Structure 1
Amino acid sequence: MKKLTLLGLGLLLFISCKEEEKETLVSTTIDESIKGKFEVDSTSSITWIGSKQTGKHSGTIKIKFGEFSVDAGKITEGKFVIDMNTIHVNDLEGEDKAKLEAHLKGDRDDVEDHFFNVKRYPEASFEVLTFTNENGVDMLEGNLTIKNKINKVKFPVSLEKVDDVITLTSPEFKINRTLWGVNYGSKSIFDDLGDKFIDDDIVLQLNIKEKK
């Protein structure tokens, strides 16, 4: 009987631990005090990292304007317009910096597929579709439009209120640029690049602040 009692206690503890683990996995990070419609501040930006065989470069792109609505800590709708003419390189200076920025924007009229071709496509945009909590992580899904091509993207986000300012941020996440026709230097598109290719994945990170 004593052995059965100990076995029962052990089983009860095991079940309790499993229930606690399950509860932890689905815990929410939502701050339900956040509510309202918020206009995006002009200091909001997207950080980017692009890589190739010989290294990588990083920089920012500014959010031109946008707004998002929050109800009980959940993003219900929103749209952000990205100014592609503000592509900025952080890790270079002088002539090298200017050359790479012009290259990314598309400095050759005779090449249609020259990175982002901002003369023809000066803006990109992101429109919110859903906001969910998955295993304790808030996830934002929406339509990302670049070069007039639309694809869904989904990534983790944090929505915080600090000193009465609402901030929407994300950890780093990746998108495959070729899905938007940004094919320059892609070995998945071109066969003759050798080791002079540029990775298809671009790393992005959001830093969006409410306009005061």
Structure 2
Amino acid sequence: MKKNLLKGAAASVIVLTTLAFTTMKKEINIKESNVTWTGKKVTGSHTGTIQLKSGFFNMEDEKLIGGEFVMDMSSISNTDLSGESKQKLEGHLKSEDFFGVEKHPTAKLVITNIASKGNGSYGVVGNLTIKNITKPVTFDLEINDNSASAKLSIDRSKYDVKYGSGSFFDDLGDKTIYDNFDLDVNLKF
């Protein structure tokens, strides 16, 4: 009798412990989410969008513990130009000079470490893969209800995106394109 009672108590503790730490996968609504990029050069800047292919957050007791996001690099579009200029820039961004989307159709971010800053704010470390090159990135992420936002600055030269980079080529003058590009990420889930 005592043995059965102890087994029952142990089972109850295991069940309660499991319920106390509920892990949930929150899928990103890719149709309602958006990623806006901005690239700068000596003579100005360009802006556009990249579509998410998939993404999710892992949550435990309503706190962020992980996540993974895949971007469709073939969806890179420009929003500040029109006509032939727009088409030329988009084609160039998709070419081997930049992101080589024919060989590398996706980019991926995997969250590897998270520090809560309180009130839905997190310091995030992740591995970003572009052109099959993976490097760590850090950024702040804000989560409110069923949305999240982050701003990232990415050094393209670390991912073999060299075109127009003063880090690789001398005497570019006003044709220099800065190595860092910015991503403004707004997610719905």
After TM superposition, is the score higher than 0.5? yes
Residue equivalent to 1:24: none
Matched residue SS, 2:128 = strand
Distance in 1 of aligned mates of 2:78 and 2:135: 25
TM-score by length of 1: 0.73
Superposed displacement of residue 46, structure 1: 1.5
1:138 matched to 2:130: no
Equivalent residue letter for 2:30: S
The CA deviation string for residues 103-124 of structure 1, in whole angstroms up to 9 with x for no partner, is 1111xxxxx4x00010110000
Structure 2 matches for 1:16-27, cutoff 5 A? none
Matched residue SS, 1:182 = coil
Distance in 1 of aligned mates of 2:52 and 2:118: 30
Distance in 2 of aligned mates of 1:134 and 1:150: 26
Tell me if structure 2 keeps the 8 A contact 1:73–1:159.
Answer: no
Unaligned runs of 5+ in 2: 1-21
TM-score by length of 2: 0.82
Residue equivalent to 1:123: 106
Distance in 1 of aligned mates of 2:136 and 2:118: 21
Residue equivalent to 1:154: 138
1:101 matched to 2:87: no
Tell me if structure 2 keeps the 8 A contact 1:69–1:75.
Answer: yes
Unaligned runs of 5+ in 1: 1-33, 107-111
Distance in 1 of aligned mates of 2:136 and 2:113: 11
Tell me if structure 1 keeps the 8 A contact 2:30–2:55.
Answer: no
Equivalent residue letter for 2:137: V
The CA deviation string for residues 142-162 of structure 1, in whole angstroms up to 9 with x for no partner, is 10000000011110111111x
Distance in 2 of aligned mates of 1:201 and 1:52: 10
Identity of aligned residues (%): 41
Superposed displacement of residue 134, structure 1: 4.7
Superposed displacement of residue 195, structure 1: 2.4
The CA deviation string for residues 7-40 of structure 1, in whole angstroms up to 9 with x for no partner, is xxxxxxxxxxxxxxxxxxxxxxxxxxx9721112
Residues paired across the two proteins, number: 166
Residue equivalent to 1:21: none
The CA deviation string for residues 65-98 of structure 1, in whole angstroms up to 9 with x for no partner, is 1222111332212111100000011111111111
Residue equivalent to 1:40: 28
Equivalent residue letter for 1:189: F
Tell me if structure 2 keeps the 8 A contact 1:74–1:131.
Answer: no
Residue equivalent to 1:203: 182
Equivalent of 1:87 in 76, 82, 97:
76
Distance in 2 of aligned mates of 1:173 and 1:82: 14
Structure number with the higher strand fraction is: 2
Equivalent residue letter for 2:25: K
